[in-house]
Amino acid sequence: MAHDAPSPDTTGTLARRGLMFILSSPSGAGKTTIARMLLEGDPHIRNSVSCTTRAPRPGEVDGRDYHFVSHAQFDRMAEDGEFLEWATVFGQSYGTPKAQVKAGLKEGVDYMFDIDWQGTQQLYQKLERDVVRVFLLPPSIAELRRRLTGRGTDTPEVIHGRMERARSEISHWDGYDYVVVNDDIDRCFEQVQKILHAERLRRARQTGLIGFVRELMQPDD
Ligand SMILES: Nc1ncnc2c1ncn2[C@@H]1O[C@H](COP(=O)(O)OP(=O)(O)OP(=O)(O)O)[C@@H](O)[C@H]1O
Ligand SMILES: Nc1nc2c(ncn2[C@@H]2O[C@H](COP(=O)(O)O)[C@@H](O)[C@H]2O)c(=O)[nH]1
C-alpha cells in the first residue's frame, strides 16, 4: 500500500518554518527597489512594515511603506517592548514591530526586512536561526550619489548626510551572510532571488522533512 506523504506547504515544498530575509545597504544603493521586486513576484514573502518618526516621502503610503508615527508614539512603543529591534538612523527612530512576525514564521511565512546594520545585529542576536542577512553594495560612490540625487525625494542636505554616512554603513559589510553588488538591477535581483530560494531549502527550516523521509523509508508492500 502506498503511504501518504505529508502535505506540501504553499511554496510547493514540504512544511517549513519561515525565514527573516534582511536587506541592508548604504542609503541609495537600491534595497527598497530590490525588496519591491521580490515582494511583487513572490506571494510567500511579506514585507515587515517598520515604524519611523521620519516624514513620508512623496508617494509613500502609511501602513504600506512605513507606519509613520510621532516621536512620543515611538518612545511609548519602545518602552512597552513592542519592537523586535529599533535604532536611530539619520537622526530619526526606526523600529520593527513584533506583532506581525513571530506567528507568521511558525506558519511558514517569510518576511522581508529593509533595515540597517544595527537592526540586523539585534535580530541576529534574538533569532539567529531564522535570519538571512544580505548586504547590497553600490558599484561606486559616484553612482551611489547619482542614485540618491536621481531619486528626487531628498533635499541636498539630506543627501549630503546620507553620503557622509555611506562609508561607515559600508564598513559593516562583513556582518552579513551574503554580499551582492547592485550594478545591473536585473542581475542583482536574480542573485538575491536565488539566495532566498536556496535559503528556503535549508534542512533546518524544513519542518516536514523528518516525517517525509520516514515515509520514504517505509518498506514497499
Ligand atoms: N541597479 C540600479 N541601477 C540604477 N538605478 C538604481 C539601481 N537600483 C536602484 N536604483 C535607483 O536608485 C535610487 C535609490 O534606490 P532605493 O530607493 O531602492 O535605495 P535604498 O537603498 O532603499 O535607499 P534608502 O536606504 O535611502 O531607502 C532609486 O531611484 C532607484 O530607482
Ligand atoms: N534598524 C532599523 N533600520 C531601519 C528600519 N526601517 C528602515 N531602516 C533603515 O533606515 C535607513 C533609512 O531608511 P529611509 O527609508 O529613511 O531611507 C535605511 O538604512 C533603512 O534600511 C527599522 O525598522 N529598523
**Which DSSP letter does residue 50 get?**
P
Q: What confidence tier does 12 reach under pLDDT thresholds 50, 70, 90?
A: low
The 10 Å Cβ neighbour count of residue 19 is 23
Q: Are 204 and 18 in contact (CB under 8 A)?
A: no
Q: Is the ipTM of this complex over 0.95?
A: yes
Residue 94 Cα, ligand 2 centroid: separation in angstroms?
6
Judge whether 4 lies within some domain.
no
Domains identified in the chain, total number: 1
pLDDT at 11: 60
Judge whether 28 lies within some domain.
yes
pLDDT at 103: 82
Judge whether 186 lies within some domain.
yes
Q: Is 26 helix (H, G, I), strand (E, B) or coil?
A: coil
- CATH of residue 185: 3.40.50.300
Give the pLDDT confidence of 26-77 residue by residue, as tens digits: 999 999 999 999 999 899 999 999 999 999 999 999 999 999 999 999 999 9
Judge whether 11 lies within some domain.
no
Q: What confidence tier does 10 reach under pLDDT thresholds 50, 70, 90?
A: very low
pLDDT at 79: 97
CA of 180, nearest ligand number: 1
Judge whether 188 lies within some domain.
yes
Judge whether 159 lies within some domain.
yes
Mutational test site, ligand 2, from 32, 36, 67, 89, max ligand atoms within 8 Å of CB: 89
Q: Which three cell numbers stand for residue 198?
A: 536556496
Give the pLDDT confidence of 162-220 residue by residue, as tens digits: 999 999 999 999 999 999 999 999 999 999 999 999 999 999 999 999 999 999 999 98
Q: What confidence tier does 147 reach under pLDDT thresholds 50, 70, 90?
A: very high
Q: Are 113 and 119 in contact (CB under 8 A)?
A: yes
Give the pLDDT confidence of 78-132 residue by residue, as tens digits: 999 999 999 999 899 999 999 878 888 999 999 999 999 999 999 999 999 999 9
Give the pLDDT confidence of 130-140 residue by residue, as tens digits: 999 999 999 99
> What does pTM read for this prediction?
0.93
Judge whether 68 lies within some domain.
no
**How far, CA to CA in Å, does 16 sit from each of 12, 13, 101?**
11, 8, 15
Judge whether 5 lies within some domain.
no
CA of 97, nearest ligand number: 2
Mutational test site, ligand 1, from 33, 39, 191, max ligand atoms within 8 Å of CB: 33
Q: What confidence tier does 16 reach under pLDDT thresholds 50, 70, 90?
A: very high
Domain that holds residue 36: 20-48+108-217
pLDDT at 7: 41
Atom of ligand 1 at shortest distance to CA of 114?
22
